[in-house]
């Protein structure tokens, strides 16, 4: 291999060297909860107990680290478990966090409600407004700016390097939820972020058959804190789940290219549709942060949101009429999904600053033939 192998070479080989005893090309699913010691404390390759470390999870963690270009990676039982572990690694009760005003509803619920007894303070801010980001950071109190870009479901794009510059000058870390872009389309650590977070349930896994999460840190100081908390809190990815995500990562680059091809076509179709009032896709020149997206993303991914002129009930009805798009929450799998964020994924933020428009529909554009996807939308949006 060259000194700096390309993305797909890393995705296929990092963490996956053939098994030394059997030659198995694919890392085995090591289901063992515990590991024999050669005398007390005589660990073999550092393995002691599977909450602390497990060989299948290590394979995934090494691959994630290589793909995000970080110092160390950590795999969790879900995206929210990764977020929870990270917050407890960097914050104390009473700490302050700047959040995107259109973040994933579950992240908002975690920070604003599950952490309520902790007194974690949160300020939802429009991260596309850099002056607002700067004004929201409280030096000495703000532990981090939580960036999600593109955001779920409104697809706004935050300028990661500009936010990193502002946050670091004021002593705050920058965390990027890279779930929508995936490591193939966007590399937050290279843009100055301190930690990348993923719901690996989505594009990393890629087949809607696993729930998982990940963190990749830029430096060792943070990595040690996360490692301590990963073991102390215990919300780790199980070996079979880790194996599924690792398998998914091997095809991430080709999948993201096809997701992007299809989503570009679907977004172009929707912009021409008379019943559609607005399309949110960073690849469109009309997108408010298209220039930032072009600078920091390789392509624009598979997520497209749009609003229908006829209002909430029309949006709900359209979601029930598709036959190729499946009506379901989640995203990032090979199959296309459609959902109504206001009543589904973002129902928990109704009545807050994060409430989404009621006439909004979100698409996770999959890998089917683009013509079939467009024909399906065409009959559903009648
Ligand atoms: O579901 P989980 O693996 O715990 O990940 C949470 C999460 C975090 N960040 C983003 C940007 C997400 O989209 C999610 C999960 N989102 C959905 C389930 C959804 O349908 O939007």
Known active-site residue 343 = no
Q: Are 213 and 263 within one domain? A: no
Q: Are 194 and 338 within one domain? A: no
Spatial distance between the Cα atoms of 137 and 160, rounded to a whole number of angstroms: 15
Nearest CA to ligand 1 atom 19: 330
User: Ligand 1 test: best mutation among 201, 209, 210, 333, most atoms within 8 Å of CB?
Assistant: 201
Q: Are 39 and 124 within one domain? A: yes
Output the pLDDT for position 348: 86
- Whether 347 is covered by a domain: the verdict is yes
- Whether 202 is covered by a domain: the verdict is yes
85 lines ligand 1 (CB under 6 A): no
Q: Are 237 and 287 within one domain? A: no
Q: Which atom of ligand 1 is nearest to the CA of 201?
A: 3
Q: Are 226 and 263 within one domain? A: no
Q: Which helix (H) or strand (E) holds 123?
A: strand 121-125
- Identify the bridge partners of residue 168 per DSSP, sorted by sequence position: none
Q: Are 150 and 231 within one domain? A: yes
Chain segment 153-198, per-residue pLDDT in tens? 999 999 999 999 999 999 999 999 999 999 999 999 999 999 999 9
> 347: CA distance to ligand 1 center in Å?
13
Instruction: Return the minimum-mean-pLDDT range out of 118-127, 211-220, 310-319, 345-354.
Output: 345-354
- Whether 196 is covered by a domain: the verdict is yes
- Contact assessment for residue 189 and residue 223, using Cβ atoms and an 8 Å cutoff: no
The tokens 């058959």 sit on which residue?
Answer: 209
Binning pLDDT at 50, 70 and 90, where does residue 2 land?
A: low
Taking residues 353-362, report their average pLDDT. Answer: 94
Q: How many other CB atoms are there within 10 angstroms of residue 126's CB atom? A: 16
> If DSSP codes are grouped into helix, strand and coil, which group holds residue 112?
helix
- The torsion angles phi and psi of 17, rounded to 5 degrees, stand at -70, 145
Q: Which atom of ligand 1 is nearest to the CA of 339?
A: 20
Q: Which of 47, 57, 84, 104 is catalytic?
A: 104
Q: Are 48 and 153 within one domain? A: yes
Q: Are 120 and 197 within one domain? A: yes
Which residue range forms the structural domain that includes residue 257?
253-380
Q: Are 61 and 118 within one domain? A: yes
- Contact assessment for residue 249 and residue 204, using Cβ atoms and an 8 Å cutoff: yes
Q: Which helix (H) or strand (E) holds 377?
A: helix 370-380
Domain endpoint, select from 207, 227, 249: 249
- Whether 2 is covered by a domain: the verdict is no
**Residue 153 preceded by cis peptide, ω within 30:** yes
> If DSSP codes are grouped into helix, strand and coil, which group holds residue 44?
strand
- Whether 233 is covered by a domain: the verdict is yes
Residues 6+ apart with CB under 8 A from 371: none
- Contact assessment for residue 308 and residue 362, using Cβ atoms and an 8 Å cutoff: no
> 331: CA distance to ligand 1 center in Å?
8
- Identify the bridge partners of residue 336 per DSSP, sorted by sequence position: none
Question: Which CATH number covers residue 322?
Answer: 3.90.1150.10
Question: Which CATH number covers residue 144?
Answer: 3.40.640.10
Spatial distance between the Cα atoms of 198 and 177, rounded to a whole number of angstroms: 6
Give Cα 144 distance to the centre of its chain: 17
Chain segment 195-223, per-residue pLDDT in tens? 999 999 999 999 999 999 999 999 999 99
Spatial distance between the Cα atoms of 102 and 127, rounded to a whole number of angstroms: 9
- Whether 237 is covered by a domain: the verdict is yes
User: Ligand 1 test: best mutation among 76, 100, 104, most atoms within 8 Å of CB?
Assistant: 104
Binning pLDDT at 50, 70 and 90, where does residue 1 land?
A: low
Closest among 95, 108, 169, 101 to 129, alpha carbons compared? 101
Output the pLDDT for position 3: 72
- As for how many domains the chain has, the answer is 2
- Contact assessment for residue 190 and residue 74, using Cβ atoms and an 8 Å cutoff: no
Q: What percent of the chain has pLDDT over 90?
A: 96
User: Ligand 1 test: best mutation among 106, 212, 344, most atoms within 8 Å of CB?
Assistant: 106
Q: Are 86 and 215 within one domain? A: yes
Q: Which atom of ligand 1 is nearest to the CA of 80?
A: 4
Q: Are 187 and 327 within one domain? A: no
Known active-site residue 299 = no
- Whether 1 is covered by a domain: the verdict is no
Domain endpoint, select from 229, 249, 269: 249
Output the pLDDT for position 356: 94
Domain endpoint, select from 232, 249, 266: 249
- Identify the bridge partners of residue 307 per DSSP, sorted by sequence position: 278, 360
- Contact assessment for residue 363 and residue 338, using Cβ atoms and an 8 Å cutoff: yes
- Contact assessment for residue 146 and residue 272, using Cβ atoms and an 8 Å cutoff: no
DSSP alpha helix (H) spans, 238-311: 239-250, 252-272, 290-296
- Whether 281 is covered by a domain: the verdict is yes
Closest among 22, 72, 69 to 217, alpha carbons compared? 72
Q: Are 24 and 50 within one domain? A: yes
Known active-site residue 250 = no
107 lines ligand 1 (CB under 6 A): yes
Output the pLDDT for position 352: 87
């Amino acid at each position: 291999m060259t000194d700096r192998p390309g993305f797909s070479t890393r995705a296929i080989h990092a963490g996956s060297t053939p098994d030394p005893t059997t030659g198995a090309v694919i890392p085995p699913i090591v289901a063992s909860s515990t590991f024999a010691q050669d005398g007390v404390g005589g660990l073999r390759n550092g393995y002691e107990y599977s909450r602390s470390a497990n060989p299948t999870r290590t394979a995934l963690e090494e691959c994630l680290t290589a793909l995000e270009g970080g110092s160390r990676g950590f795999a969790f039982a879900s995206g929210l478990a990764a977020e929870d572990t990270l917050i407890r690694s960097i914050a104390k009760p009473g700490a302050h966090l700047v959040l995107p005003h259109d973040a994933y509803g579950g992240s908002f619920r975690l920070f604003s409600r599950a952490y309520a007894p902790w007194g974690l303070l949160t300020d939802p801010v429009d991260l596309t407004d850099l002056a607002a980001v700067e004004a929201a950071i409280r030096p000495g109190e703000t532990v981090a700016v939580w960036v999600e870009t593109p955001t779920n479901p409104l697809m706004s794009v935050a300028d990661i390097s500009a936010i990193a510059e502002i946050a670091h000058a004021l002593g705050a870390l920058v965390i990027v939820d890279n779930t929508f872009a995936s490591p193939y389309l966007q590399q937050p650590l290279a843009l100055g972020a301190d930690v990348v977070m993923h719901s690996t349930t989505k594009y990393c896994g890629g087949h809607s058959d696993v729930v998982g999460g990940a963190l990749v840190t830029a430096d060792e100081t943070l990595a040690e804190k996360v490692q301590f908390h990963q073991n102390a809190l215990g919300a780790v990815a199980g070996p079979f789940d880790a194996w599924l995500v690792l398998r998914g990562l091997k095809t991430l680059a080709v999948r993201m290219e096809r997701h992007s091809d299809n989503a570009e076509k679907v977004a172009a179709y929707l912009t021409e549709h008379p019943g559609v009032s607005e399309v949110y896709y960073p690849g469109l020149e009309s997108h408010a942060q298209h220039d930032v997206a072009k600078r920091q993303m390789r392509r624009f991914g598979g997520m497209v949101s749009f609003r229908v002129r006829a209002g909430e009930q029309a949006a709900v009805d359209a979601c029930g009429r598709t036959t190729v798009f499946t009506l379901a929450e989640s995203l990032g799998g090979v199959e296309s999904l459609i959902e109504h964020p206001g009543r589904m994924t973002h129902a928990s933020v109704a009545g807050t600053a994060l409430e989404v428009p009621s006439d909004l529909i979100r698409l996770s554009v999959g890998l089917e033939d683009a013509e079939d996807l467009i024909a399906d939308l065409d009959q559903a949006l009648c």
